[in-house]
Amino acid sequence: MRRDMFLKSLAAMAAAGVLPVSAQTAHALKMMIPANPGGGWDTTGRALGKAMQDAGVASSVSYDNKGGAAGAIGLAQFVNASKGDPNALMVMGAVMLGGIITGKPPVGLDKVTPLARLTSEYNVFVLPANSPFKTMKDVIDQLKKDPGSVKWGGGSRGSTEHIAAAMIAREVGVDPAKINYVAFRGGGEATAAILGGNVTVGGSGYSEFAEYISAGKMRPVGVTSGTRLKGVNVPTLKEQGINVEIGNWRGVYGAPGISGEQRKVLIDALAKTFKHKAWQDAMEKNGWTPAWMAGDEFANFVDAEFASMRATMAKSGMI
């Protein structure tokens, strides 16, 4: 093949996004974050974008926050605005599955392209620093007396902390349908409500509350892990006689309608980023557990997780 023809072919393949990462120039990526600023998805998306630039697989990354309905609003916008775009990414996770189960939005994850799971994280329940309660036992005792008087604050309906609250109620003999759960559109709103004492107890991924716990502004009373988190002196719910364990994972989807080759390019870029020091440092800083899974394996995991979560929520009286 003549050199000029080869170069033209190479340029055409690059424009179509079908070259391997090693042969492509880094692209300007667009990151949909289907949540308000300040929460777990926002932190994950922005840390991922920075790491992708540091890893050399993105020349730039722009961010679009669109919160509400456990990510369903951002998901719908992503589907409608990004069809066939090989440079569009969306952060998502277990919370979105719960929101889809409870909210039944018109647009589901079947419309977008599964790429990879990145991290896993357990939830922590905290009390405002000035709370009259001191332990999870105090919260449970009040819950048994008057379920409606205990305000559980956290993410959208169907979030892992919402499911955990319902599971806790069921485990201690309280009708899960009677819990008073206050859903917030983003981690920033939930944090403000807890700091202001506007909820009785709040739940979220440990990384979102870590700085406030360290500063003494929140009192941690239980984590949803099977064993104590490394370097975190907070008892598990199981240690306290409450048989509840639930984790929160986060991943990335691509736009609808991209080709198999374009999907592979994005997965390869994410894999390279996952191994890069910038992303490894971000996981350590935020207390995220590495949970790499990609391609069809990730797609099958999401399907199984959806079915399992639906069963748990039905058993807990949430749907």
**pLDDT given at position 92:** 97
**pLDDT given at position 25:** 59
**pLDDT given at position 21:** 42
**pLDDT given at position 4:** 52
CA–CA distances in Å: residue 243 to residues 112, 212, 240: 35, 27, 8
- Entry pTM: 0.81
Tens of pLDDT along the chain (319 residues)? Answer: 444 544 455 445 444 444 444 445 578 999 999 998 888 899 999 999 999 999 999 999 999 999 988 899 999 999 999 999 999 999 999 999 999 999 999 999 999 999 999 999 999 999 999 999 999 999 999 999 999 999 999 988 888 999 999 999 999 999 999 999 999 876 788 899 999 999 999 999 898 899 999 999 999 999 999 999 888 899 999 999 999 999 899 999 999 999 999 999 999 999 999 999 999 999 998 889 899 999 999 999 999 999 989 988 888 888 8
Instruction: Name which of 150, 299, 165 is nearest 224 in CA terms.
Output: 165
Please list, in sequence order, all residues whose beta carbon lies within 8 angstroms of the beta carbon of residue 201, skipping any fewer than 6 positions away: 125, 126, 127, 133, 139, 150, 151, 152, 153, 221
Q: What angle do CA 310, 274, 111 make, to 5 degrees?
A: 40
Which residue reads 């009677």 in tokens? 178
**pLDDT given at position 313:** 87
